[in-house]
């Protein structure tokens, strides 16, 4: 088994595609209209679906408002330079909701940006204590 995708309902597909593709650097992998169901699906990601988990952006035609709810948390993306990434996002018109810095009660360096729908995207500085890449490096050192 493997994780295939996460679906987000979006109120403006074009604004969402600009954010995920132009601001965060993902690629539009495929997009299809479903006239019988009055919706469009767009899949975006950093690699092909055969090898990577991706985001499915669902636009329900004529539906321009959603309640985000309090159960949803965020999407997380690992980055090599969190400060430079936040500056680039800001320069491209993206909203940095939490500036880079250590997480509360920990040492992993994180930041949060917000997409046009209000969804949070966590940026995690790779290689900092507590980050996934730090754990992978420690695990591979323990094996050798």
| Catalytic residue ranges | 122
Q: Which residue has the tokens 């949060």?
A: 112
- Please say whether the beta carbons of 123 and 82 come within 8 A: yes
β partners of residue 123:
77, 111
Cβ atoms of 45 and 89 closer than 8 Å: no
Pairing of strands 109-114, 5-9: unpaired
CA dihedral 12, 51, 79, 105 (to 10 degrees): 90
How far apart CA 19 and CA 38 sit, in angstroms, is 23
């Amino acid at each position: 088994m493997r994780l295939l995708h996460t679906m987000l309902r979006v109120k403006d597909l074009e604004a969402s595609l600009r954010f995920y593709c132009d601001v965060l650097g993902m690629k539009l992998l495929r997009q299809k209209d479903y006239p019988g169901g009055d919706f469009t699906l767009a899949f975006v990601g950093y690699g092909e679906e055969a090898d990577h988990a991706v985001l499915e952006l669902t636009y329900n035609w004529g539906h321009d408002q959603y309640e985000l709810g309090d159960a949803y948390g965020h999407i997380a993306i690992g980055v090599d330079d969190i400060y430079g990434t936040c500056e680039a996002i800001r320069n491209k018109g993206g909203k940095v909701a939490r500036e880079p810095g250590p997480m509360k009660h920990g040492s992993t360096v994180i930041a949060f940006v917000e997409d046009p729908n209000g969804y949070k995207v966590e940026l995690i500085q790779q290689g900092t204590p507590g980050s996934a890449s730090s754990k992978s490096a420690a695990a591979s050192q323990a094996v050798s």
